[in-house]
Amino acid sequence: MEFFDIAETWSREAITAAQIVRLRNTVEQAMKSPFYGQRLKEAGVTPGSIRSLDDVRRIPLTSKDDLRAQYPDGLICVPKSELVRMHASSGTTGTPTVVYHTQSDLNSWADLMARCMHMVGIRREDVFQNMAGYGLFTGGLGIHYGAERLGCLTIPAGAGNTRRQVKLVRDFRTTVAHIIPSYALYLGAALRDEGEDPAELPLRIALIGAEPHTEEARRRIEDMLGLKAYNSYGLSEMNGPGVAFECVHQDGLHVWEDAYIAEIIDPATGEAVPDGEVGELVMTTLCRQGMPVLRYRTRDLTRFLPGECACGRVHRRLDRILGRADDMLIVKGVNIYPMQVEQVLMGFPEVGQNYLIVLERDDFRDVLRVKVEIRDEYFEEDMRKLHGLRERITRRIHDEILVTPKVDLVQHNSLPKSEGKAQRVQDLRERPAL
């Protein structure tokens, strides 16, 4: 097998050894900012006190609000004249989170991104069309620099203008596209509407990310456009794209552990969850000079997939993002994520598009009720079959979340219709008086 970077061939021991050294360097670098200088001092963390990887847990967590409070430049760790790039997330509130890069940071970022692309078989002979917007959004310039580093002929098409995108793909024989999943589906549908077969485009690979999407959406993109679509994970606080990426086995996203420490914590307690359980992803940069970030709470829910990947890389694999930490529910003292329930439901062909999770309180016990719309053709079946279906759904949900739900099968169109973002959860429990 071909690798882009020697770090792809490292053993677990080599990764751990590198992580410890780099974490020490990162702590030393981070201390140069007023924010981390103070934080680490309070926590009693010095570079020398990092002796094993477990010592990362002695470092306090960093939240998005911490970054916002340091706006615009409280986290810079180098003389300002050494900074060459700034990116900012627009965010939903007024204050953006800002990330600064030195030239060496940009080089590492481009290397990581090029490694991701190389991993799925992209080579310098490929023609790469970037259909993501450029600017402060890290997805555009981030993948652009990776493609150029890999030596692909890069077409900086930017977002939108479907007619032109298709003309560029055809005229320049584009083989690889960076495209947002919903736009991939739109583009395919637009071509079909004109009586054309989108699978006849020369595209062979799509890099998809920046937007949560299901496995089903990925398969539809692959079938419609006749290509392999690979999931990308990144966030601007950790550079942007290039943090974790699927290999050709499409079975989880390898997170580049030579450049990041990834942890999964319980969003309620901040403690590590047992290996393989779902929780909030926490990330630490290991190679960034301009603005290192320690134990950043991504708010993204995922888990480490168990076992070794068939590709041979030991960099651990993250499951696709299962939701946002803010969506977490605590039921009978157990953390539950609506996306887990949804994933189970979508595995049943009898289940329609709509469902609702209702939390109730029966005396002092939590009850998790799941109302599920059943497709008409199944709803007509005899009661015994429906009973069997309900039992199977109940069991599968219990296996996933370790709480036994009450499942109600309801008729198509009987649950409240969602306009825009679906409301999937109703919490009817009384809050305990404080």
Give the whole-angstrom CA distance, residue 139 versus residue 154: 14
Angle between helix 181-193 and helix 215-225 axes, rounded to 10 deg: 40
Quote the least distance from Cβ 149 to a second copy, whole Å.
Answer: 9
Stretch that binds a second copy, among 27-35, 148-156, 251-259, 425-433 (CB under 8 A): 148-156
Stretch that binds Zn ion, among 171-179, 188-196, 308-316, 389-397 (CB under 5 A): 308-316
Q: Does 4 bind a second copy (CB under 8 A)?
A: no
Report which DSSP code applies to 100.
Answer: E
Closer residue to a second copy, CB minimum distance, 58 or 167: 167
150 contact partners, CB below 8 Å, separation of at least 6: 4, 114, 117, 118, 122, 123, 124
- Using an 8 Å Cβ cutoff, are 113 and 143 in contact? yes
SS3 assignment, position 43: helix
Give me the amino acid identity at 33: S
User: Closest approach of Cβ 244 to a second copy, in Å?
Assistant: 24
50-79 residues in contact with a second copy (CB under 8 A) are 71-73
- Whole-number Å distance between alpha carbons of 114 and 227: 20
Instruction: Assess 370 for contact with Zn ion (CB under 5 A).
Output: no
Pick from Zn ion, a second copy, none: which does 378 bind, CB < 5 to 8 A by kind?
Answer: none
Gap between the terminal Cα atoms of the chain: 60
DSSP 192-209: HHTT--GGGSS--EEEE-
> Nearest approach, Cβ of 236 to a second copy (angstroms)?
12
Which among 16-24, 168-176, 205-213, 231-239 is the span making contact with a second copy, rule CB under 8 A? 168-176
Q: How far is the CB of 106 from a second copy (least distance, A)?
A: 8
Rounded to an integer, what distance in angstroms lies between the CA atom of residue 182 and that of residue 213? 8
Q: Looking at beta carbons only, is 148 or 251 nearer to a second copy?
A: 148
Rounded to the nearest 10 degrees, how much is the dihedral formed by the CA atoms of 110, 112, 114, 117? -140
Residue 136 interacts with, from Zn ion, a second copy, none (CB under 5-8 Å by kind)? a second copy
- Contact segment (CB under 8 A) with a second copy among 26-34, 135-143, 212-220, 317-325 equals 135-143
Nearest to 120 by CA among 207, 185, 45, 31: 207
Instruction: Identify which of 28, 103, 85, 105 has the alpha carbon closest to the alpha carbon of residue 59.
Output: 28
> Does residue 247 belong to the site contacting Zn ion (CB under 5 A)?
yes
Q: How far apart are CA 81 and CA 163, in angstroms?
A: 42
Q: Which is nearer to Zn ion, 53 or 311 (CB)?
A: 311
Cα separation, 244 vs 209, in Å, equals 11
The label of the residue with tokens 């009817």 reads 428
Segment near Zn ion (CB under 5 A); pick from 19-27, 127-135, 172-180, 302-310: 302-310
Pick one of Zn ion, a second copy, none as the site partner of residue 83 (Cβ within 5 to 8 A by kind).
a second copy
**Side by side, which strands form the sheet with 365-374?**
406-411, 365-374, 351-362, 425-427
Which of Zn ion, a second copy, none interacts with 92 (beta carbon under 5 to 8 A by kind)?
A: none
Residue 106 interacts with a second copy (CB under 8 A): yes or no: yes
- The site string for a second copy over 112-131 (x = CB under 8 A, - otherwise) reads ------------xx------
Residue 425, binding choice from Zn ion, a second copy, none, Cβ under 5 to 8 Å by partner class: none
State which of residues 5, 28, 55, 148 lies at the interface with a second copy (CB under 8 A): 148
CB nearer to a second copy: give 84 or 310.
84
Q: Does 40 interact with Zn ion (rule: CB under 5 A)? A: no
Separation between Cα atoms, residue 158 and residue 178, nearest integer Å:
10
Question: Which member of 140, 198, 209, 240 binds a second copy (CB under 8 A)?
Answer: 140
- Nearest by Cα to 359 from 431, 268, 305, 412: 431
Binding site for a second copy (CB under 8 A): 71-73, 80-88, 100, 103, 106, 124-125, 133-136, 140-141, 148, 151-158, 168, 171-172
Binding site for Zn ion (CB under 5 A): 247, 309, 311
